[in-house]
Homo-oligomer: A and B are copies of this chain.
Amino acid sequence: MITIKEIASELGMSATTVSNVIHGKTKEVSPETIERVNAYLDEVDYVPNINARNLAQNHSNIIGIVLKTEEERHTYMNILADPFVAEMLGGIERTVRKAGFFLMLYISDDLDEIIRQVATWNVDGLLLFWMMDEDAIKIRKRFKKPMAFIDTYMSEETIKKMGHRYVNIGLKDEEGAYEAVKYLIECGHKKIGFMSDSDIGVDSRRYMGYERALKEAKLSIKDEYRFVLNTTTEGIDKSLEALAKQAEKVTAIFCTSDNFAALMINACERHGLHVPEDVSIMGFDDNLNGRLFRPPLTTMHQDIEYKGVLAASTLIDIIHEKPVEKHEIILEPSLVVRESVARI
């Protein structure tokens, strides 16, 4: 690979001049020089060494994606194959690339490791999925550059500590779940289950919405309405089997993701319970696969790809020193009625 210095000596000028025309700092360079340099540059197909550049400029052109996996979750399948993540990633990748940045993935269940790697690469900004409040604080303590959180619920205290170079993109989870369950109730369901794999983060908000809808309708909430999926590779099949049995006690189940809905429908069908004739199943997210599913999924739609694009483009704005107007951007989901929920 040819270097600036070599080019300079070849052309009989200094490296500075070459560097200047490369960067378009061309106000103080004569037109002929510019021409000569440019011609030579693409004659030899010059490609800069980005490591050297980064070292000199003390940045990296890298935007990091941090996916902190939880030991207990995300193990039944690889996290990049989660349709929600994959779809968002696609939007992010495109946005980041268009803006001239590169993407690096930091996936681990060890936040300290992630923090070190981010530091080692001198990453310019971070996109963080599903961070817990305490992890958000922890990472801010050691990473001072721009960050965009996706689906993180932060306490007031955390928000104070975030400074001003961050944004948090979320969804009206509580309301979305409330609307979803209200729809189920309108369809005549009285025994309604709630399925998730956790009771933290987004799931806890969705549970609150579920609860509110049931209370408002004066419907009771029983233990047997709580469907909790064990998503570990070893446990998932057994767990699903148990949930299918549990499904007999209920006429509808609200699931916190389309994925879970798909899993649940399969489990029910295997168990001889037809959807929606015997039991109604409702999803959340309206992801790409959900849209292909049979029966077509009734679900709460959110624009996943847009969420990623918005997070990435806002992050890039912050990196470019644009002041951020709103630190908390809350998107709205909307009901999509298809065929997995029956009126009874």
Contacts and interface: CB of A to CB of B under 8 A. Distances in A.
Interface of A: 1, 45, 47-52, 54-55, 60, 77-81, 83, 86-87, 89-91, 93-94, 97, 102-105, 107-108, 116-117, 119-122, 262-263, 265-266, 269, 288-289, 292-295, 305
Given A83-B289, A105-B103, A292-B289, A47 B119 contact: yes
Contact of A104 (B55, B94, B104): B104
A123 B94 CA distance: 21
A81 B77 contact: no
Contacts of A45: 116
B292 A294 contact: no
A107 B97 contact: yes
Contacts of A90: 77-81
A105 B122 contact: no
A265 B296 CA distance: 12
Give chain A's interface secondary structure class.
Answer: helix
B60 A288 contact: no
Given A80-B89, A90-B78, A294-B269, A52 B55 contact: yes
Contact of A107 (B86, B93, B119, B294): B93
A8 to B, nearest CB: 19
A239 to B, nearest CB: 15
B55 A51 contact: yes
A83 B107 CA distance: 19
A229 to B, nearest CB: 14
B288 A77 contact: yes
Contacts of A102: 104-105, 117, 121
Contacts of A87: 78, 80-81
Nearest to A269: B294
- Which of A50, A94, A305 lies at the interface centre, i.e. has the most chain B CB atoms within 10 A of its CB? A50
Instruction: List the 9 closest A-B pairs by CB distance, nearest first.
Output: A78-B90, A80-B90, A86-B86, A294-B294, A81-B86, A47-B119, A51-B54, A262-B292, A51-B55
